[in-house]
């Protein structure tokens, strides 16, 4: 199914992202009820958590492409891994910013080091941010591609640790919404959350495809310049 998504025309993907974002906003502000505890500030949940999950998905996709590069060596896998990790870092940064805003309004603080969920996500984000320092410190070529692929695969171990940290330790700060008993929210809230997540995944997919197209065109023009020189 994922390989079929690649064949969706980019304009259609972008249009789907726009429609889903508009639908998500309408559901969040006009359909989902106010939370009994947090009131209006709980609405940040519908953007913060989907962004975090999308960041995880981007890092996982980047690691999958890195594994493919090391295993079967298809020509574009390294570039696809890079683009996915780049999107993951963008969404990771947005997770930290929106999470800080939500923390400020809910707990009165922008950040706390006592929360395992927050700290492990920050570690994951910084790990993948350092991916670019590694990538641009090495000359382009097979060695760089292999190094980056191994690095990306190491980072994927942090994804389940970050996701499970909230359940592995007693974190009384960061709330747990999704438990073994299912989502701890009403049906309308869950619908708004799912549409919001779908919107952000589609947006990330669009941004990923646009970045890849730009990078591939850049590479082809560079090759053409070398041939004509």
Does position 104 interact with other proteins (CB under 8 A)? The reply is yes
* 4 or 225: CB nearest other proteins: 225
Binding segment for other proteins (CB under 8 A), chosen from 38-46, 58-66, 114-122, 129-137, is: 38-46
User: Residue 129 interacts with other proteins (CB under 8 A)?
Assistant: no
- Taking the C-alpha atoms of residue 128 and residue 119, their distance in angstroms, rounded to an integer, is 14
Q: Does 18 bind other proteins (CB under 8 A)?
A: no
Does residue 68 interact with other proteins by CB under 8 A?
A: no
> Is the separation of the CB atoms in 10 and 206 below 8 Å?
yes
* Nearer residue to other proteins within complex by CB, 54 or 149: 54
Report the nearest approach of other proteins to the CB of residue 93 (Å): 8
Q: How many residues bind other proteins (CB under 8 A)?
A: 29
Which of 16, 23, 41, 68: binder of other proteins (CB under 8 A)?
Answer: 41
Among the listed residues 203, 208, 209, 212, the single contact to other proteins using CB under 8 A: 203
CB of 114 vs other proteins, minimal distance in Å: 22
> How many C-beta atoms surround the C-beta of residue 164 within 10 A?
13
What residues contact residue 92 under an 8 Å CB cut-off, 6+ apart? 55, 59, 121, 124, 125, 128, 129
Burial (0-12, 13-18, 19+ Cβ within 10 Å), 214: exposed
Distances (CA, A) of 207 to 126, 147, 178: 21, 25, 28
The H or E element spanning position 57 is helix 45-71
96 binds other proteins (CB under 8 A): no
The CB-of-45 to other proteins minimum distance in angstroms stands at 10
For the segment 46-65, give every residue that binds other proteins (CB under 8 A).
Answer: 47-48, 51
Query: Angle formed by the axes of helices 45-71 and 116-135, to 10°?
Result: 40
Q: Where are the beta strands (DSSP E) in 47-100?
A: none
Q: Is 90 in the site for other proteins (CB under 8 A)?
A: yes
Is residue 43 near other proteins by the rule CB under 8 A? yes
Give the DSSP H or E segment for 178. Answer: strand 178-179
Interacting residues with other proteins (CB under 8 A)? 25, 39-41, 43-44, 47-48, 51, 90, 93-94, 97-98, 101-102, 104-105, 203, 207, 210-211, 214, 217-218, 221, 224-225, 228
């Amino acid at each position: 199914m994922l390989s079929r998504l690649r064949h969706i025309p980019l304009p259609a993907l972008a249009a789907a992202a726009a429609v889903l974002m508009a639908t998500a906003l309408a559901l969040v502000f006009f359909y989902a009820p106010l939370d009994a505890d947090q009131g209006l500030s709980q609405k940040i949940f519908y953007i913060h958590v989907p962004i975090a999950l999308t960041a995880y998905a981007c890092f996982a996709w980047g690691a999958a492409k890195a594994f493919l590069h090391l295993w079967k060596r298809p020509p574009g896998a390294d570039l696809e891994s890079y683009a996915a990790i780049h999107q993951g870092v963008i969404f990771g940064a947005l997770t930290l910013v929106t999470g800080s805003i939500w923390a400020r309004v809910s707990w009165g603080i922008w950040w706390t080091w006592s929360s395992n969920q927050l700290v492990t996500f920050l570690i994951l984000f910084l790990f993948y941010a350092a991916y670019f320092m590694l990538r641009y410190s090495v000359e382009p070529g097979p060695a760089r591609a292999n190094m980056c692929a191994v690095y990306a695969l190491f980072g994927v171990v942090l994804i389940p640790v970050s996701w499970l940290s909230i359940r592995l330790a007693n974190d009384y700060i960061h709330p747990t919404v999704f438990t073994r008993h299912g989502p701890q929210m009403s049906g309308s809230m869950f619908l708004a959350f799912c549409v919001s997540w779908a919107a952000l995944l589609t947006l990330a997919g669009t941004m990923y495809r646009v970045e890849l197209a730009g990078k591939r065109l850049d590479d082809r023009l560079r090759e053409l310049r070398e041939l004509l020189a």
